[in-house]
Amino acid sequence: MNAPKCLLALVKSAVMCYGCAMQIEVVEQSLQYTFTDSTWLKRALTHPSADQKRSTNLAYERLEYLGDAVLELVVSTELFRLFPKADEGTLTKLRSGIVSRQHLSDVCRELGWCEHLAMSPQLEKTGGRQAFSVLANTFESVIGAVMADSNYLTARKVALHLLDESIKNAYNYLEVNHKGKLLEVLQAVDGTGPEYVVTPIDPEQPAGPFHAKAMWHDMVVGEADGSNKRRAQVGAAQDALTRRVWENK
């Protein structure tokens, strides 16, 4: 490599490293947490479509699994503490609203994390940077990254920093039954409800995460990813209710 090309390569490399460092710093500021090993945060901000070698686990899927579990426990504990008169069923519904795909994606979008996500050009062209399932997964993954980098108490502190107001106002976030609503809407059209096709995102990982398609008359009306089959189906139903492609049929 001649001197000018070598210099250009070094400049590009320096710019990329600086940009990555800036992204890490911006997200850390919103978390009010500084990573000991920033690799965890980089992984949390990497969509599977950007991980060419899936076997390397450079994307956020494993961290999403961990963050999902942390959020369930944190939110459950806080709701139990804040609403002593709420019964089990009510607490479960309140928790579902707080950790729903829609709410977590809204929080992620407000924090601006979508701007720092690494993803394939194809996914970005189709609006992946604003897809609620991608944003919700990213939120869970970042919490998982904090947990992996530190411990549960620290991850709990970060999660409460981000969701404290939502938890205190939990009754405002009662989760809509998206699958039931989609069934109701489509049956009102011609009496036929949707069917769901769920497959592992990675055939070599049959336990998930999963991709679900909501089908109606052989037409894909909604689709989404989820850490388990139920969440993928709920996400697909929510996507369908947002897109409402049957109205253009």
Question: And the tokens for 153?
Answer: 């108490």
CATH of region 22-173, choose from 1.10.287.130, 3.40.50.1980, 1.20.120.140, 1.10.1520.10: 1.10.1520.10
DSSP H or E run through 33:
none
- Known catalytic residue at 68: yes
Q: Which of 75-89, 137-151, 167-181, 223-237 has the lowest mean pLDDT?
A: 167-181
User: Residue 19 — pLDDT band, cuts 50, 70, 90?
Assistant: very low
pLDDT at 9: 41
Give percent of the chain with pLDDT exceeding 90: 48
Q: Which of the residues 51, 61, 64, 68 is marked catalytic?
A: 68
Distance CA 108, CA 110 (A): 5
Q: Which of the residues 51, 61, 64, 140 is marked catalytic?
A: 140
User: Residue 238 — pLDDT band, cuts 50, 70, 90?
Assistant: confident
Q: Which of 163, 176, 171 is CA-nearest to residue 241?
A: 176
Give the strand order in the sheet containing 210-216. 195-200, 210-216, 219-226
SS3 118: strand
pLDDT at 35: 96
Report pLDDT digits (tens) over 173-216: 776 678 888 988 998 898 888 999 999 988 888 887 889 999 99
Residue range 42-53: average pLDDT?
83
Please state the domain extents for the chain.
22-173, 178-248
Q: According to the CATH classification, is domain 178-248 in 3.30.160.20?
A: yes
pLDDT at 17: 40
> Taking CA 131 as the corner, what is the angle to CA 147 and CA 18, rounded to the nearest 5 degrees?
60
Report pLDDT digits (tens) over 131-166: 878 899 999 999 999 999 999 999 999 999 999 999
- Write the DSSP string, 170-237: GGGGPPP-HHHHHHHHHHHHHS---EEEEEESSTT-TTS-EEEEEEETTEEEEEEEESSHHHHHHHHH
Q: Which of 47-61, 167-181, 204-218 has the lowest mean pLDDT?
A: 47-61
Domains 22-173 and 178-248 share a fold: no
Q: What is the mean pLDDT of the chain?
A: 85
- Known catalytic residue at 140: yes
* DSSP tag of 45: T
Q: What are the CA-CA distances from residue 22 to residues 36, 39, 104 (Å)?
A: 16, 14, 24
> Are 183 and 194 within 8 A, CB to CB?
yes
Q: Which of 42-56, 59-73, 90-104 has the lowest mean pLDDT?
A: 42-56
pTM value is: 0.69
Is the pLDDT reported for residue 101 higher than 90?
Answer: no
